[in-house]
Amino acid sequence: MRILTAAFSRRLLLLFLLALMLFTWKIGSTPILDGDTAFWARISKNILTSGEWLTLKFVDPARIIDKPPLFPWMIAIGFKLFGINEFALSIFHSILAALTVVFTYLVARELFDERTAFWSGLILLTTAQFFYQGRSPLQDMPLTLFVTACFWAFVVWEKKNNPWFFYLAGLFSGLAVMSKGPVGLALPAVVVLSYVIISRKWKLFFNRHLVGGAAAFLLVTAPWFIAEYRILGNRFLQAMWSGHFGRFFSPVDLIGKPSAENVIRPQYNFYAYFLQLILLAVPWSGFIYPAWFKYIRDKKMLFILCWSLGVILFFSLSLNYKISRYILPAFPALAILVAKFWLDYIDDPEKFKRPMKVSIWLTTALIIPLLFLGTLYLIYAFPAEQAGYRPILLPFLALLSIGMTVSVVLWFRHRSLLALKSFTLSALIAFTALSALVAVYFKEANPIKEYSLKINALYQPGDVIVKYCGFEDHFMMFYLDQKVITIDNESELKKLLYGRAKVLAVTEEPDALKNLKLKVLSRKNNFVLFTNR
């Protein structure tokens, strides 16, 4: 027994350390990659500079932020400990990503065995979308962690009937709500209710510990919600309603300028996420659909099916833009699904031969060709103005494509376990290389941070700072010490350029500057730093 316990501890520790390495390596030298990350980084910076921890503020003090504060609190603590920089922005988020791998392991171990648990963790941390989110601080990772932890506590409670784990489930669900809002309660509710109804375990509805679980949930969530209502009143309730329930049931998001002809409207297509998975879950995406089909009547897999499909179907019903990171809470379940599928095939090849063959051919005929086409596109047809991204993406796609091809060849040569290891190792190598390449080349490909710091150095009282066309203004709002004016109209820009004040501006659309008299201070990739003096 002691030997088994020691082996369990060593494997779990190895998994945690591997995940921590993958998600923290080079984070201090990698600029912000996502506009939403910059948005929350600025809010966290405001918390630190203003000392106001309850009511979140971005730039406009009248704007109510419709999300709970746990995520920006975490970043603000990082800023307090390590200074306002990229390492402080990411470190706690990266630890949460590694802990999500740990809880995925724990869920799989409770439902199946230690071997399935270990491979579930490996597959999760080598899945493309989870890797990206693990290195790009956003609310979806804390949400995913606490939802996964909630399901672990629920599974242990159902298995051992220990009420403390039911209370833990309520606690973790509360933390999920404090990470991103009511969705932190909605997802566990959808999954658990689906599981109870399909399995006909009606006694779970009459659990005498429901009151204790609800009390644990309210203990975490109620203080902040009550405090914000006392501060903001009905404006707070209206913001929470429109920002969560309203945006789910009616379209509010627009990608692009509302007046532009090429504006991207919200994706209403119910099937959008099921198509996105083909790329989001690389290199494992080819195995998801056959595994769903194979296990659809397997009672032992019911909870994992309810979890993976329940989360995706929940967000598929939303009438808003189908942003890929929203379904991140499904990825731990998808990792367990794929791990179980592979290991069942290795243990009983004949029983799982047909669905595994379909998976391999999906990978061979669809996913690998898509990656190779992406590689060829980068070589021969990638836009010249975006050439700075080529040294980042080209080696990554090439490594991943070659690694997946080798893995498929090993399977066709009847080396199944070696093929599984090859898929995992090739993904680890490709993602590690991508982290290093981003740290080296992204600053040249996207010099917003460099330009913002240069503006900080050049700025004099009375100067005007402008973000003109192109990228999201959140980046400059985080890196700059002064106010940024966002302009998308040429006539408005001309008024400033030909006025009395000195203008320092950045754009991602150099063609928009052809008819303007200005001085270019720097030009990198498709970005231009310019002034009127």
Which is nearest to 58 in space by CA: 70, 76, 46, 67? 46
Residue range 457-472, pLDDT digits in tens: 999 999 999 998 888 8
Written as one string, the DSSP assignment of 337-380 is HHHHHHHHHHH-HHHHHHHHHHHHHHIIIIIHHHHHHHHHHHHH
| Region label for 465, one of left (φ > 0), alpha (ψ between -120 and 50) or beta (otherwise) | beta
Is residue 313 over pLDDT 80? yes
Residues making up the chain, counted from first to last:
533
User: In this structure, what is the dihedral angle of CA atoms 265, 268, 273, 276, given to the nearest 10 degrees?
Assistant: -40
Indicate the SS3 state at residue 524: strand
The answer on pLDDT for 62 being more than 60 is yes
Residues 41 and 177: their CA atoms lie apart, in Å, by 20
pLDDT confidence of 7, banded at 50, 70, 90?
very low
Provide the pLDDT for residue 257.
56
Residue spans of the domains in the chain: they are 2-252, 354-445, 448-531
Listing DSSP states for 456-471 in one string gives HHH--TT-EEEEESSS
Tens-place pLDDT, residues 140-172:
999 999 999 999 999 999 888 888 999 999 999
**pTM over cut 0.85:** yes
Tokens encoding 440: 């080296």
pLDDT band at 481 (very low <50, low <70, confident <90, very high): confident
The tens digit of pLDDT for each residue in 429-456 reads 999 999 999 999 998 888 999 999 999 9
How large is the average pLDDT for residues 252-281?
72
Strand order in the sheet with 503-507: 485-487, 464-468, 503-507, 527-531, 519-524
Residue 512: name the closest of 484, 483, 533, 492 by CA.
492
